[in-house]
């Protein structure tokens, strides 16, 4: 294979040609191991870690595949296993009626009970609900993530909402200009933004969406700091303008910044698609979020 000595920028980090050559050597000499094991090995060698100390193995697997596409290396074939969870689950017959039959106002089912998804049973329920009731289905998010199930407190305990937070978009022009970032500062501070990547309401109850959003945001900052040892300062979300107005976000004082370019996170061909343009909304978790993101304080 014609190897290329290339440099690569990925997920906020610049990988030098020397580091890429090291990655090539690891792949060549570690025959017989899986892609996941390769990713862990590369992360350890390059000290590619989260602020909490955990390896960025998920991001590293994506980097390895990009390098393979560029002809820099040849990865082992993907292994199939009976216990492997698919990257995306889409229901064969999406439900066309609400999951919950609860109706009325949010006051009638309060207090809302928020539980962080931790157990296998909770994860399976979360994935199943998104697969059946969210228009995007369920997809394994990139990087860090925290997921919540929100339950009605009365008249019976029942799931009424699913919310997921994950790693932020690496680059969004309107967001980055609003904050006042250049590329260097964005690379330093990006980890302090969290993306609300899934939001699902499962009952036709007045004001439920805003109440669910408020309930999980009250927990997010502490939970994220406990899990990843990083303080989130700003939450962002992307609303499909062809489907939704984003009323619950606007009612909760989220700030509209503009629109995305219509390109996906992994769009290497630079193809803008108008049907993928989304509205960018953000919500500061602390009063001085902007100056702290800019590095002014």
- Considering the domain architecture, whether residues 196 and 251 belong to the same structural domain is answered as yes
Query: Does a structural domain hold residue 76?
Result: no
Average pLDDT in the 236-248 region?
Answer: 88
Query: Does a structural domain hold residue 12?
Result: yes
Query: Does a structural domain hold residue 21?
Result: yes
Q: What is the 3-state secondary structure (H, E, C) of the chain?
A: CCCCCCCEEECCEEECHHHHHHHHHHHHHCCCCCHHHHHHHHHHHHCCECCCCCECHHHHHHHHHHHHHCCCCCCCCCCCCCCCCCCEECCCCCCCCCCCCCEEEHHHCCCCEEEECCCHHHHHHHHHHHHHHCCCCEECCCCCEEEEEEEECCCCCEEEEEEEEECCCCCCHHHHHHHCCCHHHHHHHHHHEEEEEEEEECCEEECHHHHHHHHHHHHHHHHHHHHHCCCCCEEEEEEECCCCCCHHHHHCCCEEEEECCCCCCCCCCCCCCHHHCEEEEEEECCCCHHHHHHCCC
Query: Does a structural domain hold residue 33?
Result: yes
Is the pLDDT at 91 greater than 60? The verdict is no
Which pLDDT score, from 0 to 100, does residue 225 have?
94
Which pLDDT score, from 0 to 100, does residue 267 have?
46
Average pLDDT in the 16-42 region?
Answer: 79
Is the pLDDT at 8 greater than 50? The verdict is yes
Which pLDDT score, from 0 to 100, does residue 270 have?
47
Q: Of 41, 69, 97, which residue sits at a domain end?
A: 69
Which pLDDT score, from 0 to 100, does residue 273 have?
53
2 vs 275, which has greater pLDDT?
Answer: 275
The chain-wide mean pLDDT, for the chain, equals: 84
Alpha carbons 262 and 15: distance in angstroms, whole number: 27
Alpha carbons 95 and 89: distance in angstroms, whole number: 14
- Considering the domain architecture, whether residues 230 and 170 belong to the same structural domain is answered as yes
Which pLDDT score, from 0 to 100, does residue 4 have?
53
Which pLDDT score, from 0 to 100, does residue 207 have?
94
163 vs 270, which has greater pLDDT?
Answer: 163
Nearest CA-CA partner of 131 in 123, 139, 120: 139
Query: Does a structural domain hold residue 2?
Result: no
Is the pLDDT at 191 greater than 60? The verdict is yes
Kindly report, residue by residue over 107-150, the tens digit of the pLDDT: 999 999 999 999 999 999 999 999 999 988 887 776 688 999 99
Neighbours of 241 (CB within 10 A): 14
**Full-prediction pTM beyond 0.75?**
no
Average pLDDT in the 186-197 region?
Answer: 92
Asked whether the beta carbons of 70 and 1 are under 8 A apart, the reply is no
Q: Pick the range with the lowest mean pLDDT from 4-8, 32-36, 177-181.
A: 4-8
- Considering the domain architecture, whether residues 216 and 272 belong to the same structural domain is answered as yes
Is the pLDDT at 238 greater than 90? The verdict is yes
Query: Does a structural domain hold residue 230?
Result: yes
Is the pLDDT at 268 greater than 70? The verdict is no
- Considering the domain architecture, whether residues 57 and 111 belong to the same structural domain is answered as no
71 vs 85, which has greater pLDDT?
Answer: 71
Alpha carbons 163 and 214: distance in angstroms, whole number: 11
CB-neighbour burial class of residue 121 (10 A; exposed 0-12, middle 13-18, buried 19+): exposed
- Considering the domain architecture, whether residues 130 and 52 belong to the same structural domain is answered as no
In CATH, what number is assigned to the domain containing residue 190?
3.40.630.30
Q: Number of folded domains in the chain?
A: 2
- Considering the domain architecture, whether residues 166 and 222 belong to the same structural domain is answered as yes
Query: Does a structural domain hold residue 223?
Result: yes
Q: Which domain range does residue 137 map to?
A: 88-294
- Considering the domain architecture, whether residues 106 and 211 belong to the same structural domain is answered as yes
- Considering the domain architecture, whether residues 63 and 92 belong to the same structural domain is answered as no
- Pairing between β-strand 145-152 and β-strand 113-116 as defined by DSSP bridges: antiparallel
Query: Does a structural domain hold residue 79?
Result: no
Is the pLDDT at 84 greater than 90? The verdict is no
Is the pLDDT at 258 greater than 80? The verdict is yes
- Considering the domain architecture, whether residues 65 and 93 belong to the same structural domain is answered as no
Asked whether the beta carbons of 126 and 134 are under 8 A apart, the reply is no
- Considering the domain architecture, whether residues 289 and 186 belong to the same structural domain is answered as yes
- Considering the domain architecture, whether residues 35 and 169 belong to the same structural domain is answered as no
Percent of the chain with pLDDT over 90: 47
Which pLDDT score, from 0 to 100, does residue 264 have?
52
- Considering the domain architecture, whether residues 112 and 254 belong to the same structural domain is answered as yes
Which pLDDT score, from 0 to 100, does residue 54 have?
82
């Amino acid at each position: 294979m014609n190897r290329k000595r290339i440099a690569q920028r990925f997920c906020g980090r610049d990988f030098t040609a020397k580091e890429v050559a090291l990655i090539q050597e690891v792949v060549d000499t570690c025959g017989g191991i899986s892609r996941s094991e390769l990713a862990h090995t590369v992360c350890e060698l390059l000290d590619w870690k989260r602020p909490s100390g955990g390896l960025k193995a998920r991001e590293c697997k994506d980097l390895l595949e990009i390098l393979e596409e560029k002809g820099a290396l040849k990865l082992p074939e993907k292994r199939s296993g009976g216990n492997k969870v698919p990257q995306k689950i889409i229901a064969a017959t999406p439900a066309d009626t609400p999951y919950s039959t609860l109706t009325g106002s949010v006051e009638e089912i309060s207090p809302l009970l928020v539980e962080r998804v931790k157990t296998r049973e909770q994860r399976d329920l979360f994935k199943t609900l998104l697969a059946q009731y969210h228009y995007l289905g369920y997809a394994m998010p990139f990087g860090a993530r925290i997921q919540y199930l929100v339950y009605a407190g009365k008249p019976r305990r029942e799931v009424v909402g699913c919310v997921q937070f994950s790693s932020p978009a690496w680059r969004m022009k309107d967001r980055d200009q609003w904050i006042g970032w250049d590329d260097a500062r964005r690379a330093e501070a990006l980890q302090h933004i969290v993306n609300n990547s899934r939001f699902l309401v499962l009952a036709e109850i007045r004001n439920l969406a805003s109440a669910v959003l408020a309930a999980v945001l009250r927990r997010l900052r502490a939970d994220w700091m406990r899990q990843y040892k990083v303080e989130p300062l700003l939450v962002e979300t992307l609303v499909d303008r062809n489907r939704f107005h984003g009323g619950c976000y606007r009612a909760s004082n989220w700030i509209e910044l503009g629109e995305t370019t219509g390109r996906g996170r992994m769009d290497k061909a630079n193809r803008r698609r108008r049907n993928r343009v989304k509205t960018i909304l953000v919500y500061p978790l602390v009063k001085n979020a902007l100056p702290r993101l800019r590095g002014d304080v």
